Structure 1
Amino acid sequence: MRRLGTALLAVSMLAACGPGPQAETPSESAPSTPAVEQQQAPILTQTNVDVAIECSGILEFANTASYSLLDRYLPSNVVTNIVNRRATAPFTSLADLSTVPLVGPTRLKQLEGGARTMDFIDADCVGILDGIAISRDDQTAIVNLVNSIDDSELHDVLPDAWNGAVNLLNTRPFTTAQQIADTAGIGDVSFRNIRNSATLSRPLEALFAAVNAIPSNGSYGATTLRHFDWWNIASEQHYYRDDKTCFGLEPSSVPSGAYVRPNLADAAEVRAAVQNAVAYVNGNTLIPASVRTAGFANLDSLIAGRSFKGCIITYENDPWSRNTVHIYVDTVTGFSVMTETWWAE
């Protein structure tokens, strides 16, 4: 695989700092020599881009291949349009490529085929599925998520694809991302939502895992979750005390006896709940600063300017303990977090 040009293109794409270094027109015969190869493991996509780093050779191929090479894989009029457009600015995304006249899903797949044949991408890039190019790591994360996600969360991740969510639930388990993309009711927006849910919150998930790993001292503790069944948690009934305040839920989803708050939650409320859970178990001291910093930065990037539905639940199963649960679900993307703190005498 032509690693050096791909790596440079990927860095320039993610940094969003303008066009990167101009790659030379690739040879139409042998692959790059070992002297310019840079081996790297597959990379999980953690930003909302439409080309995984391991697939950025597709863009490199479109940006640098000669007219005659592109003409092997595309109709001549499409090649002319691509070459004329790239003369003004390099392509930085599949969406950007798709603005070229006559370039649609079929032409993008042909470009992918050319990039793979000419060794601009290899098996680390699964390919273009429903408008995004995913890596092998992305595929693993997507398949694991769809095979394990709860009903309530999957429907939140796919708010405009109810039938697609039902079909995924009825058809799983899957072994490839292609099978998921091919499921009836799953299209470009839905598949991208699934990819984002599977890959974009890994630093936050690492922080949550660190919180959950802190041993309880028997009198208090905290749990933080990124993926969970909010419906079962919110609708559960408790013996001694069961106070629930919910917001943004469909009337049929409001737990029995809950107070309905008129206002949705915002980013500040979500962050405060997570901060409280981390501090509650002395996580600011026990969790490495690098994990905390990356986790909260990731959280901030996912909640900034967003609105959340959910519930705040305080319950007691006896007079000598108390649990407080905060559930937040993005009303558009389905991104969700849950925190629970508890004490017992």
Structure 2
Amino acid sequence: MASHPLSGPQKAAAVILALGDGHAAALFARMHEDEIRDLSIAMSSLGTIPAPVIEELCQEFGDELGQAGNLVGTFESTERLLLKTLPRDRVSQIMEEIRGPAGRTMWDKLGNVNEAVLANYLKNEYPQTVAVVLTKVRPDHAARVLSLLPEGFAMEVVMRMLRMETIQKEALEGVERTLKAEFMSNLARAQRRDAHEIMAEIFNNLDRQAEGRILSALEERNRDAAERIRGLMFTFEDLSRVDGAGLQTLLRAVEKDKLALALKGASEGLRELFMKNLTERAAKLLRDDIAGLGPVRLRDVDEAQAAIVALAKDMAAQGQLMLQDGREEEMLS
């Protein structure tokens, strides 16, 4: 091992790689985003590790696990462990977040909330409260939320963020209490959805080949469940149920190259519906673009259609258009 000194994260990365894809995926599913990032960086820097080193690592891992006896996790033991592998300033930041009133879990959950949902809630809060929240979530997520707030209100928030110094513990505790009592609890209740709805959303994000394969296998095991999921799925062809005004709003927002690629693989009926909601000149240009594409890969068409469906869903969440899924169609028939 001396000829191949490895850091703590590199040792963990090597052991995970040795365990294989199946076990690695299960482990990653239980890790925080930061942990996955650190391990990914470590993996990418490993290079070739000789088999004897891998054997020694696995032996070391097994020995330490076997000798652990009763395990007690404390702030102090966690800090000592982190200091062995991370710079002191990074450890201090992590420990502050763990010990802090809000904690990692709260802000991590908030960072995973859809930006339209979060913006809709925050627009009714005090600008100072919003400023605190946006300084605690990831910058990319904060940017998307900020862009969805009313312009005047957003500027009030920005000014408070610029003037903000160190956030006092009491202020963070107050914001956390408000979010937990008024927002996160309501969000949790609202998200108690049928398992078939959740699976339909997951299937919507599969490529066509994987979707067909998994749905076919599910039909053999549980035909009722497969049919229910298929009825709940919103596909590119379902955009035919969007009204004219909504479709025109969507078309103005779609990237033209994505639209041409998506329509290349669409049904003739849906393609014509899109054309009817464009100006005559825009429709002609789009037809020329589609014709000029030549042969295209099915995967590229699927990705373009999925991007447009995702955009339509985002716009629907913001109230810019109405989407109808299979359930509404069945109820109206």
Structure 1-normalised TM-score? 0.27
Normalized per residue, the structure richer in strand is 1
Taking CA–CA contacts closer than 8 Å with sequence separation of 6 or more, which of the two structures ends up with the larger relative contact order?
Answer: 1
Based on CA coordinates, which of the two structures has the bigger radius of gyration? 2
Structure 2-normalised TM-score? 0.27
